[in-house]
């Protein structure tokens, strides 16, 4: 307890304290300011790196997303496809089942759809074809989803690794079938557009939008108001509580993953049967992973997920336009996108915590 | 020499700490003198532990100063605290299981450039001899009983040269005999000129051990009294801020019939250790059966087994239906099946927010936990649970902003009222409660005792697992003592003697203390 020892210890400059809940509007104010700060920072970077007017860059981003009728439809299509996969991963995530295999689950659904189109297209009546496409897609995805769930329930295997590995199996399967089907050696399956779903409503993407809109409402109601949804929440919050009240945890895990599978199957069906009419290893295009972010950002609420998937597809579409308009490669748009996402996710810290600067430390400086 | 004339060891000046909107400590002024035992008393949530954590460098105060040797001290980490000669023994021990006592004691010492266990051991022996610690230095931690581990913690702190020791609820895990031994050591340390701060909420211990008592209420220091001038009633009044009646009204049981008979239950844990051996007893309607024992003696497993959460190796759990009169075996049934059989078995588990309730769900959704599956509809009915939540809030005086508040935001006492309220609302015939007053303030504790008593008067068979022997003796009609998974006796509550219970809790057992300590350890880990 002597002087020297006392001097050696310096008071920390600040410390972090958890905030109690803050009003809704304040949280949104923080989020909006985060976006503004991100945009300002990006503007600075754009000026420094590509010497362009940042306002023009943002203008071009906006154009890329909304500039023409076609772009608006494309944006809507991108949005609903991402949303659909996000809906699929959400029930499992709410249950704290870390399924990062949506990519593969959607892909096998798409592969099954393509297989039905390939083998039965033109050989059976169209309504029957659509039916077998739907059934095949859903069963394939459900199979892909419940295998890790069964292993988890039975032997408590790690679902994260398991579902991740299943992605690669799915991709290899796609490669294998394409090589079997395509004898020309081109390695690509040309679109079988004549067997795809017909146009419904004003645009070819309208059917997809309609289906996903219905699914969004359904998943929201299921999670919020159904007994199954309640069981998912209880299992996710505390497995011990679930057992205490007699919920069969294994059953809930398998059932919920089967539901995820159904939704992935529909996503695969819409991607192949309703959009591309063919399949390849990048049909899902990373949506299985982006969906995780969409779901988390929206705190597993399907209605907020509309907003978060919009944000992501908007940034993607905008960034693409920027690289064409300014003749730069994709990196700059990737940078802009990541900065904006970083700020949006990072601002949650300021919603949950506050930083207290120590008065005495400040006084010392004076 | 009077205490107040002694040199000051440490002084707190206007120390304030807040967590969000919650003020944990507000302008606390407190002086600790050399050579005294200062007891810090206060209800749960009154800020005792927060205050001590600031002295020992775990938290940093938002306002105010800590003064040592009449100079403001900056304690930003436990390491700083040691530089000032302050050491804290936490409620949950921070020891490395596979190391022996010596290794744990010298672990992390900066000055020790070379590892010289012989020298260190000599030094440790000297400390032990000086204060009368009995400890086997070469014993590994996982082989030790809870009391031995605590000794290691205290010696560790002394070895680091602590002049001021803080002990956070040191007696919570000890038997009466072990507590006495600890107190003798603490007194010796005081006479040696060390300052000791002890946090506890066992009133009689405070009165028998301390020199002065500082009382905290809602984060504020409401007064310090000399122990010689204090009584249990005056301290309680100071703690709560008003006079409280501390009586448990025990009515004589009547119309008792056997309700639940447990026969020859054996249970082996996941690690192959025997948890319960040949347990047999009967719980009768209209009486409270207490279960006493050191933490981790198998109480939790016993209740979970009856509730259908664990499956025994052998034995039977027979339930006598009060209406139909038939007998059913609950063994190997799931909680859902037990409910479907019409057995109204309520269970208040020890782990309230981890098992009994879901912290992130609101009161209404927590009410549904037991009843959500009723009816054929695929959708939830939130109307009845909401009414029930409102009724419980009203009748048990639960302090909450509303029924749509997540229960984790309620205080410990209110959380427990919600849980007990829900379990009672099922109008049980058997009500099991594990440590239902742990961490509750005095008022809430007595509310819970009264609720249990009322259930008993309604003819419910109540099983109560408790840790405070005084309360068990006052509340229960019969007390069953469990010791390392075996029943060592069942005594009448009205004739029970605390020391006898203490002996039954620790009687030497054929399996040795190895098992017991391992189980106590896993218990601890679970609680963390």
Which one of B378, B422, B432, B433 makes the best mutation probe of the A interface by having the most chain A beta carbons within 10 Å?
A: B378
ipTM value: 0.80
Other beta carbons within 10 angstroms of residue B202's beta carbon come to 17
SS3 A239: helix
Long-range CB pairs of B128-134 (<8 Å, 24+ gap) are B128/B155, B130/B188, B130/B192, B131/B158, B131/B185, B131/B188, B131/B189, B131/B192, B132/B184, B132/B185, B132/B188, B133/B185
Which one of B50, B361, B410 makes the best mutation probe of the A interface by having the most chain A beta carbons within 10 Å?
A: B361
Say whether A9 and B83 touch across the interface (CB within 8 A).
Answer: yes
For residue B110, give how far its alpha carbon lies from the nearest alpha carbon of chain A (Å).
15
User: d(Cα B447, Cα A248) in Å, to the nearest integer?
Assistant: 34
The dihedral formed by the CA atoms of B384, B389, B392 and B394, expressed in degrees to the nearest 10: -110
Reported as a single tens digit per residue, the pLDDT across B121-132 is: 888 999 898 888
Say whether A244 and B62 touch across the interface (CB within 8 A).
Answer: no
Span A172-191, mean pLDDT? 88
Residue B364 has pLDDT above 50, yes or no: yes
Residue entry with tokens 């040199």 = B7
Which one of B372, B375, B526 makes the best mutation probe of the A interface by having the most chain A beta carbons within 10 Å?
A: B372
Q: Is the CB of residue B491 less than 8 Å from the CB of residue B479?
A: yes
Residue B133 has pLDDT above 80, yes or no: yes
User: d(Cα B212, Cα B32) in Å, to the nearest integer?
Assistant: 10
Taking Cα atoms as reference points, which of B153, B212, B146, B228 lies closest to residue B179?
Answer: B146
Span B516-523, mean pLDDT? 46
Distance of CA B453 to the CA centre of its chain: 21
Say whether A241 and B357 touch across the interface (CB within 8 A).
Answer: yes
Say what the pLDDT of residue B246 is: 67
Say whether B355 and A233 touch across the interface (CB within 8 A).
Answer: no
DSSP assignment of A310-360: HHHHHHHHHHHHHHHHTT--HHHHHHHHHHHHHHHHHHHHHHHEEEEE-HH
Instruction: For strands B37-42 and B86-89, give the pairing.
Output: unpaired
Q: Is the CB of residue B406 less than 8 Å from the CB of residue B363?
A: no
Q: Is the CB of residue B209 less than 8 Å from the CB of residue B198?
A: yes
Name the percent of chain B lying above pLDDT 90: 30
Band the pLDDT of B112: cuts 50, 70, 90. low
Say whether B22 and A20 touch across the interface (CB within 8 A).
Answer: yes
Say whether A15 and B60 touch across the interface (CB within 8 A).
Answer: yes
Residue B60 contacts A where some CB pair is shorter than 8 Å:
yes
Say what the pLDDT of residue B279 is: 93
Domains (range + CATH), chain B: 3-240 (3.40.50.300), 258-344+428-527 (3.40.50.300), 359-426 (no CATH)
Residue A245 has pLDDT above 60, yes or no: yes
Say whether B380 and A246 touch across the interface (CB within 8 A).
Answer: no
Band the pLDDT of B388: cuts 50, 70, 90. very high
Structure tokens at A87: 């809906």
Name the percent of chain A lying above pLDDT 70: 92
Other beta carbons within 10 angstroms of residue B192's beta carbon come to 11
Reported as a single tens digit per residue, the pLDDT across B154-185 is: 999 988 888 999 998 888 777 778 888 899 99
Span B203-210, mean pLDDT? 87
If residue B16 lies in a helix (H) or strand (E), which one and from where to where?
Answer: strand B8-19
* Residues of A whose CB is below 8 A from B333: none
Band the pLDDT of B1: cuts 50, 70, 90. low
The dihedral formed by the CA atoms of A158, A159, A161 and A167, expressed in degrees to the nearest 10: 160
Residue B346 has pLDDT above 90, yes or no: yes
Of residues A76 and A328, the one with the higher pLDDT is A76
Interface A–B counts its CB contacts (< 8 A) at 100
Say whether B74 and A19 touch across the interface (CB within 8 A).
Answer: no
Band the pLDDT of B497: cuts 50, 70, 90. confident
Structure tokens at A195: 């067997």
Say what the pLDDT of residue A162 is: 95
Strands, E assignment, B349-501: 430-434, 461-465, 478-483, 486-492
Q: Is the CB of residue B100 less than 8 Å from the CB of residue B137?
A: yes
User: d(Cα B266, Cα B116) in Å, to the nearest integer?
Assistant: 47
Query: Count of alpha carbons within 13 Å of A117, Cβ hemisphere only?
Result: 25
- Out of A17, A225, A238, name the one closest to residue B354 (CB): A238
Reported as a single tens digit per residue, the pLDDT across B45-55 is: 788 888 998 99
Band the pLDDT of A87: cuts 50, 70, 90. very high
Of residues A272 and B79, the one with the higher pLDDT is A272
Reported as a single tens digit per residue, the pLDDT across B28-45 is: 999 999 999 999 988 777
Residue B84 contacts A where some CB pair is shorter than 8 Å:
yes
Say whether B354 and A241 touch across the interface (CB within 8 A).
Answer: yes
Taking Cα atoms as reference points, which of A138, A95, A223 lies closest to residue B378?
Answer: A223
Residue B524 has pLDDT above 50, yes or no: no
pTM: 0.77
Band the pLDDT of B400: cuts 50, 70, 90. confident
Band the pLDDT of B267: cuts 50, 70, 90. very high
* Residues of B whose CB is below 8 A from A226: 378-380
Say whether A17 and B349 touch across the interface (CB within 8 A).
Answer: no
User: d(Cα B497, Cα B473) in Å, to the nearest integer?
Assistant: 8
- Out of A1, A15, A246, name the one closest to residue B85 (CB): A1
Say whether B336 and A356 touch across the interface (CB within 8 A).
Answer: no
Residue A305 has pLDDT above 60, yes or no: yes
Say whether B378 and A226 touch across the interface (CB within 8 A).
Answer: yes
Say whether B76 and A19 touch across the interface (CB within 8 A).
Answer: no
Is B453 exposed, middle or buried, given 0-12, 13-18 or 19+ CB atoms closer than 10 A? middle
* Residues of B whose CB is below 8 A from A356: 62
Say whether A227 and B365 touch across the interface (CB within 8 A).
Answer: no
**Among A311-325, A345-359, B460-474, which stretch is predicted with the lowest mean pLDDT?**
A345-359
- Out of A3, A11, A233, name the one closest to residue B76 (CB): A11
User: d(Cα B382, Cα B361) in Å, to the nearest integer?
Assistant: 13
Say what the pLDDT of residue A360 is: 53
Strands, E assignment, B293-443: 314-320, 327-329, 345-348, 430-434
Residue B272 contacts A where some CB pair is shorter than 8 Å:
no
Residue B23 contacts A where some CB pair is shorter than 8 Å:
no
Residue entry with tokens 């399956």 = A189
Residue B78 contacts A where some CB pair is shorter than 8 Å:
no
Say whether B380 and A240 touch across the interface (CB within 8 A).
Answer: no
Say what the pLDDT of residue A11 is: 60
Span B1-20, mean pLDDT? 81
Question: HEC string of B359-396?
Answer: CCCEHHHHHHCCCCCCCCCCECCCHHHHHHHHHHHHHC
Q: Which residues contact B267 (CB under 8 A, 6 or more apart)?
A: B274, B275, B276, B298, B301, B305, B310, B312, B313, B485
Say what the pLDDT of residue B111 is: 63
Query: At what angle are helices A126-155 and A102-120 packed, to 10 degrees?
Result: 150
Taking Cα atoms as reference points, which of B243, B234, B295, B245 lies closest to residue B41?
Answer: B234
Q: Where are the domains of chain A?
A: 23-52+328-357, 70-325
User: d(Cα A156, Cα B100) in Å, to the nearest integer?
Assistant: 34
Say whether B380 and A230 touch across the interface (CB within 8 A).
Answer: yes
Q: Which CATH number fits domain A70-325: 1.10.30.50, 3.30.950.10, 3.90.180.10, 1.10.3470.10?
A: 1.10.3470.10
Q: Which residues 284-343 on chain B approach chain A with CB closer than 8 angstroms?
A: 307-309, 334-339
Q: Is the CB of residue B82 less than 8 Å from the CB of residue B160?
A: yes
Whole-number mean pLDDT of chain B?
85
Residue B259 has pLDDT above 60, yes or no: yes
Reported as a single tens digit per residue, the pLDDT across A307-325 is: 999 988 998 888 888 888 8
Say what the pLDDT of residue A220 is: 96
Residue B354 contacts A where some CB pair is shorter than 8 Å:
yes
Band the pLDDT of B113: cuts 50, 70, 90. low
Taking Cα atoms as reference points, which of A233, A80, A60 lies closest to residue B358?
Answer: A233
* Residues of A whose CB is below 8 A from B365: 230, 233
Say whether A245 and B358 touch across the interface (CB within 8 A).
Answer: no
CA distances from B112 to A5, B97, B98, B160 (A): 18, 22, 21, 11
Taking Cα atoms as reference points, which of A83, A202, A98, A96 lies closest to residue A160?
Answer: A98
Residue A221's closest chain B neighbor by CA? Answer: B379
- Out of A1, A240, A359, name the one closest to residue B355 (CB): A240
Residue A351's closest chain B neighbor by CA? Answer: B20
Say whether A244 and B347 touch across the interface (CB within 8 A).
Answer: yes
Residue A9 has pLDDT above 50, yes or no: no
Residue B370 contacts A where some CB pair is shorter than 8 Å:
yes
Say what the pLDDT of residue A152 is: 93
Q: Which residues contact A234 (CB under 8 A, 6 or more apart)?
A: A241, A242, A245, A247, B358, B361, B369
- Out of B76, B349, B372, name the one closest to residue A227 (CB): B372
Residue A134 has pLDDT above 50, yes or no: yes
Q: Is the CB of residue A319 less than 8 Å from the CB of residue A333?
A: yes
Band the pLDDT of A169: cuts 50, 70, 90. very high
Taking Cα atoms as reference points, which of B423, B266, B268 lies closest to residue B352?
Answer: B423
SS3 B96: coil
Say whether B373 and A234 touch across the interface (CB within 8 A).
Answer: no
């Amino acid at each position: 307890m002597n002087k020297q020892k006392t001097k050696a210890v310096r008071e920390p400059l600040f410390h972090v304290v958890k905030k109690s809940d803050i009003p809704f509007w304040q949280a949104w104010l923080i989020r909006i300011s985060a976006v503004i700060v991100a945009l300002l920072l990006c503007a600075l970077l754009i000026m420094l790196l590509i010497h362009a007017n940042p306002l023009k860059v943002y203008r071009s981003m906006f154009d890329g997303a909304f500039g023409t009728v076609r772009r608006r439809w494309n944006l809507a299509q991108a949005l609903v496809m991402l949303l659909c996969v996000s809906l699929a991963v959400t029930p499992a995530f709410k249950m704290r089942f870390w399924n990062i295999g949506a990519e593969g689950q959607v892909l096998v659904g798409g592969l099954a759809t393509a297989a039905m189109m390939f083998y039965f297209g033109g050989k059976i009546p169209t309504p029957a074809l659509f039916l077998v496409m739907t059934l095949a897609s859903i069963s394939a995805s459900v199979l892909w989803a419940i295998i890790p769930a069964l292993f988890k329930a039975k032997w408590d295997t790690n679902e994260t690794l398991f579902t991740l590995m299943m992605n690669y199996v799915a991709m290899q399967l796609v490669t294998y079938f394409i090589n079997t089907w395509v004898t020309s050696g081109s390695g690509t399956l040309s679109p079988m557009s004549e067997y795809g779903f017909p146009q419904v409503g004003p645009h070819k993407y309208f059917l997809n939008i309609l289906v996903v809109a219905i699914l969004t409402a359904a998943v929201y109601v299921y999670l919020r108001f159904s007994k199954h949804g309640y069981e998912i929440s209880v299992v996710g919050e505390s497995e011990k509580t679930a057992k205490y009240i007699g919920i069969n945890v294994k059953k809930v895990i398998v059932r919920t993953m089967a539901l995820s599978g159904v939704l992935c199957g529909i996503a695969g069906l819409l991607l192949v049967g309703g959009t591309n009419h063919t399949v390849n290893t990048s049909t899902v295009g990373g949506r299985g992973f982006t969906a995780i972010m969409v779901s988390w950002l929206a705190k597993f609420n399907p209605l907020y997920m509309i907003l978060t998937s919009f944000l992501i597809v908007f940034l993607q579409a905008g960034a693409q336009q920027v690289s064409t308009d300014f003749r730069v490669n994709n990196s700059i748009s990737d940078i802009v996108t990541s900065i904006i996402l970083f700020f949006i996710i990072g601002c949650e810290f300021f919603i949950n915590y506050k930083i207290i600067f120590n008065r005495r430390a400040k006084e010392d400086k004076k | 020499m009077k205490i107040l004339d002694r040199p000051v060891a440490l002084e707190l000046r206007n120390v304030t700490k807040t967590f969000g909107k919650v003020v944990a400590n507000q302008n606390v002024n407190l002086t600790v003198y050399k050579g005294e035992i200062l007891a810090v008393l206060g209800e749960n949530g009154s800020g005792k532990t927060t205050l001590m954590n600031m002295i020992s460098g775990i938290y940093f105060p938002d306002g105010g100063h800590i003064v040592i040797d009449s100079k403001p001290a900056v304690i930003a980490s436990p390491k700083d605290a040691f530089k000032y000669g302050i050491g804290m023994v936490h409620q949950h021990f921070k020891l490395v299981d596979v190391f022996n006592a010596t290794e744990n004691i010298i672990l992390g010492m900066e000055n020790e450039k070379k590892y010289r266990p012989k020298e260190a051991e000599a030094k440790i022996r000297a400390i032990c001899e000086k204060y009368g610690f009995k400890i086997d230095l070469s014993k590994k931690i996982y082989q030790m009983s809870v009391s031995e581990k605590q000794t290691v913690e205290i010696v560790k702190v002394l070895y680091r040269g602590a002049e001021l020791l803080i002990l956070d609820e040191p007696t919570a895990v000890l038997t009466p005999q072990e507590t006495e031994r600890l107190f003798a050591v603490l007194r010796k340390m005081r006479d040696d000129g060390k300052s000791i701060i002890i946090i506890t909420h066992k009133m009689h211990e405070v009165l028998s051990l301390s020199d002065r008592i500082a009382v905290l209420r809602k984060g504020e220091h409401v007064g310090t009294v000399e122990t010689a001038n204090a009584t249990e009633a005056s301290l309680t009044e100071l703690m709560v801020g008003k006079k409280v009646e501390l009586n448990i009204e025990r009515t004589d049981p009547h119309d008792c019939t056997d309700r639940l008979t447990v026969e020859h239950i054996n249970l082996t844990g996941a690690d192959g250790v025997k948890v319960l051996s040949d347990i047999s007893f009967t719980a009768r309607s209209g009486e409270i059966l207490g279960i006493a024992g050191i933490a981790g003696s198998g109480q939790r497993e016993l209740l979970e087994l009856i509730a259908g959460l664990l499956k025994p190796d052998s034995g039977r759990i027979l339930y006598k239906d009060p209406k139909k009169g038939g007998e059913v075996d609950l063994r190997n049934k799931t909680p859902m099946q037990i409910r479907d059989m019409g057995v109204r078995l309520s269970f208040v588990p020890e782990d309230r927010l981890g098992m009994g309730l879901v912290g992130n769900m609101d009161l209404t959704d927590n009410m549904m936990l037991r009843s959500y599956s009723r009816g054929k509809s695929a959708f939830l009915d939130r109307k009845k649970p909401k009414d029930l939540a409102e009724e419980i809030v009203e009748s048990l005086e639960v302090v909450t902003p509303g029924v749509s508040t997540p229960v984790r935001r309620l205080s410990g006492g209110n959380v427990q009222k919600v849980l007990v309220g829900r379990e009672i609302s099922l109008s049980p015939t058997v009500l099991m409660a594990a440590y239902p007053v742990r961490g509750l303030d005095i008022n809430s504790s007595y509310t819970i005792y009264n609720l249990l008593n009322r259930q008993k008067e309604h003819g419910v068979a109540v099983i109560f697992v408790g840790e405070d022997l005084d309360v068990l003796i006052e509340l229960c009609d019969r007390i069953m003592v469990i010791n390392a998974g075996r029943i060592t006796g069942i005594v009448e509550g009205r004739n029970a003697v605390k020391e006898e219970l203490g002996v039954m809790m620790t009687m030497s057992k054929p399996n040795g203390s190895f098992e017991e300590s391992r189980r106590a350890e896993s218990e601890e880990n679970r609680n963390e």
